[in-house]
Amino acid sequence: MSWVNAVVQGVLLGGLYALVAAGLSLVFGVMRIVNLAHGVLAVVAAYGALVLGRALGLHPFLALLLVVPAMAAIGYLLQRGLLDRALRGGELAPLLVTFGLAIVLQNVLLEAFSADNQRLSVGALGTSGVRIADGLSIGWFPLLAALTGVAVIAGLGRFLARTRTGRAMRAASDDPEAARLMGVDDRRIYAVATALALATVAVAGVFLGARSTFDPAAGATTLIFAFEAVVIGGLGSLWGTLAGGIVLGVAQGLGAAVDPAYGVLAGHLVFLAVLAVKPRGLFPSAVTA
């Protein structure tokens, strides 16, 4: 039963990883930028919900109504003001810019909120679970996080497939010059993509902040696992990212079931194995070719 439990908990954790990684995957898919500030931005969103909770007494999930648009706006401005310029500077520039942004944001958070551990309280939802069988219990909160991850991925997928902006986004990703000739304003499209990515990061940040404690330095761990999920699943493929998250979560769960020392390690090994055998990931997207 402990193996079943390990797989079940791993799948739930994978759903959360996918939720966190969705925005990273989208930004990479559209612009080929690996946003190293992704993890810290999730922490920023968590602090946003924290502040709203303190000031207005908002439940973290209600706070999302404000945090999501705010983060989307930040994303739009970030792309227009900073990343667009960085994109013109070659492949390395966006990497360095987002890395610098991560450090700046982390230290701003430290100044503003100190190093205290914080947590978004979701009340009894956080600690309650349902017992399926002896030795197999599922927490409501991890379940909700995983389902949200699936919903966000599905929503982004539909957006890319069904909407005019989504199609323009894929076009700009495939061939920016041809897209421009067809009248697609690629800079606006990029900004919308980053805005969408940060909107999903806001959701992810609130779930992460309610799941465990966070502090200004918490973004780095988040980034690592999100990045691994994206790479395992296939760069730029959204459903691949969901699969990658689940593969990573299950690998960690099974590794830990063998010996807790192998939990995180098993995830890293799967990541390395995928890089070695299928460098483009398990489900590479045609779009990012």
Partner 1 sequence: MQRSPSSPGPRWLALSGAALLTLTACGGELGGGEGGGSGGDATLTIGYVTPQTGALAAFGEADAFVVDQMEQYFADSPVEVGGTEYQVEIVVKDTQSDSVRAGEVAAELINDDGADVVLAASTPDTVNPVADQCEANGVPCITTVAPWQPFFFGRGGTEDEAFDWTYHFFWGLEDVEAVYQDMWGQVQTNRQVGALWPNDPDGNAWSADFPQAVEPNGYAITDPGLYENGTQDFSAQISAYRGADAQIMAGVPIPPDFATFWQQAQQQGYRPVIATVAKAILFPSAVEAIGPTADGLATEVWWSPQHPFTSSLTGQGAQELADAYETDTGRQWTQPVGFVHALFEVTVAALEEAGSTEAQAVADALSSLQVSTVVGDLDWTAGPVPNVAKTPLVGGQWRATEGGEHPFELVVVSNSEAPEIPTAGTVEPLPR
Interface ranges with partner 1 (CB under 8 A): 2, 5-6, 9-10, 13, 16, 36, 39, 99, 102-103, 106-107, 110, 114-119, 121, 126-129, 131, 135, 137-142, 211-215, 217-221, 223-225, 249, 252-253, 256-257, 259-261, 263-265, 268
Distance between CA atoms of residues 86 and 80, nearest Å: 10
CB of 52 to partner 1, least distance (A): 17
CB of 28 to partner 1, least distance (A): 17
Nearer to partner 1, 6 or 72 (CB): 6
CB of 62 to partner 1, least distance (A): 18
Nearest to 40 by CA among 125, 121, 103: 103
CB of 235 to partner 1, least distance (A): 20
CB of 207 to partner 1, least distance (A): 12
CB of 253 to partner 1, least distance (A): 6
Nearer to partner 1, 168 or 208 (CB): 208
CB of 69 to partner 1, least distance (A): 27
Nearer to partner 1, 17 or 28 (CB): 17
Nearer to partner 1, 6 or 196 (CB): 6
Nearer to partner 1, 30 or 251 (CB): 251
Q: What is the DSSP string of the chain?
A: -HHHHHHHHHHHHHHHHHHHHHHHHHHHHHH----TTHHHHHHHHHHHHHHHHHHH---HHHHHHHHHHHHHHHHHHHIIIIIHHHHHT-SHHHHHHHHHHHHHHHHHHHHHH-S--B----GGGGT-EEEEETTEEEEHHHHHHHHHHHHHHHHHHHHHHHSHHHHHHHHHHH-HHHHHHTT--HHHHHHHHHHHHHHHHHHHHHHHHHHS-B-GGGHHHHHHHHHHHHHHH-TT-HHHHHHHHHHHHHHHHHHHHH-TTHHHHHHHHHHHHHHHH-TT-SS--STT-
Nearer to partner 1, 51 or 287 (CB): 51
Nearer to partner 1, 122 or 179 (CB): 122
Read off the tokens for 185.
């304003």
